[in-house]
Amino acid sequence: MRIGILTSGGDSPGMNAAVRAAVRCGTARGLEMAGIRHGYVGLIAGDVVPLDNRAVGGIIERGGTFLGSARSKEFIEPDGQQHALRSIEAAGLDGLIVVGGNGSLAGARWLQENGVPTVGIPASIDNDIYGSAMAIGVDTALNTVVESLDRIRDTAISHDRAFVVEVMGRESGYIALMGGLAGGAELVLVPEFPETLADVSEYVLSGLRKGKHHSIIVVAEGFTAVGSVQTGKSPGRIISDFLEQTGAIETRLSILGHLQRGGSPSAFDRILASRLGKAAVDILADGESGVMVALTGQELTSVPLSEIARPSENFNSEIYELINEIAN
């Protein structure tokens, strides 16, 4: 049995650990393992390379993905999909493991429905994948956000400033929510809870009246202020400019951007990725497919690929309320 593995979409710290575990556990079961470089782009092009235990040595501590990744518009088109199926047949692949986020896992579902035994592994720093409490890369990204907030707070306190810190999260405010809680933010702005610019300003002014001389405002990139005019500016820039214009407090903006994706994966992400990689191989080796391996509580489970398009349930509104309560 020959199993291919690819990493797709935005890179997440821990992807390499998942590939490493899949290859070594697959080899231990007598399987032949292969890597597809650059995600679905490489799958269409037939860029398939053999992977043995030595090929995945020394990668568990590396961020990103040594196989490479890409976002493929071609794969969502019928012609690209047919090219991918022909490449799978030409490479002699009996099954696929797809490591990635919602779009990548939707591709895995298409492959399964078109005759290719496929198992998905959730990897997305946004933690917005249905069915898994944590995805690969989330913990490392959160640690990066918290470390950044700790450093920014030093400057905010020194200069009596408000800092608006924009983090990733187009559809989900999970990073902003959990990073803001752990980083001691005074205010967290997420797509799930709309606010007006006046609300944000009043919250900062309320803190000043209580004797707070600095503020850390964490905003998800997908947040939209209620009633604000769309100017093409990022939400962090809009909020920072508004606070600066009110004259209430000197304000600075920090956009963390792709800083959140990089870096050596945390111990949690290495362990989670290794467990998911092994589980994915075991499922295919046992003649099953069409699922995503997932974390529920402390145990690994499987979720049908047909269900992953459902909204994630990982955003916790009680955490949002907790932040507001303890930030005063």
Instruction: Name the residue among 134, 123, 126, 106 with its Cα closest to residue 167.
Output: 126
Question: CB under 8 Å to 8, separation ≥6 — which residues?
Answer: 39, 40, 69, 70, 71, 72, 98, 99, 100, 101, 103, 104, 107
Closest Cα to residue 270, out of 9, 7, 13?
13
To the query of whether residue 126 is one of the catalytic residues in this protein, the response is yes
Q: Does domain 141-261 have CATH number 3.40.50.460?
A: yes
Give the CATH fold of the 2-137+265-307 domain.
Rossmann fold (3.40.50)
Query: Which tens digit of pLDDT belongs to each residue from 111-165?
Result: 999 999 999 999 999 999 999 999 999 999 999 999 999 999 999 999 989 999 9
pLDDT digits (tens, 9 = 90+) for 199-216: 999 989 888 888 888 899
AA identity, residue 174: Y
Catalytic residue among 47, 52, 94, 126: 126
Portions of the chain given CATH number 3.40.50.450: 2-137+265-307
pLDDT tens for 65-90 read 999 998 888 998 999 999 999 999 99
| E strand or H helix that includes residue 236 | helix 235-246
User: Averaged over 234-240, what is the pLDDT?
Assistant: 94
Residues carrying CATH 3.40.50.460, the chain: 141-261
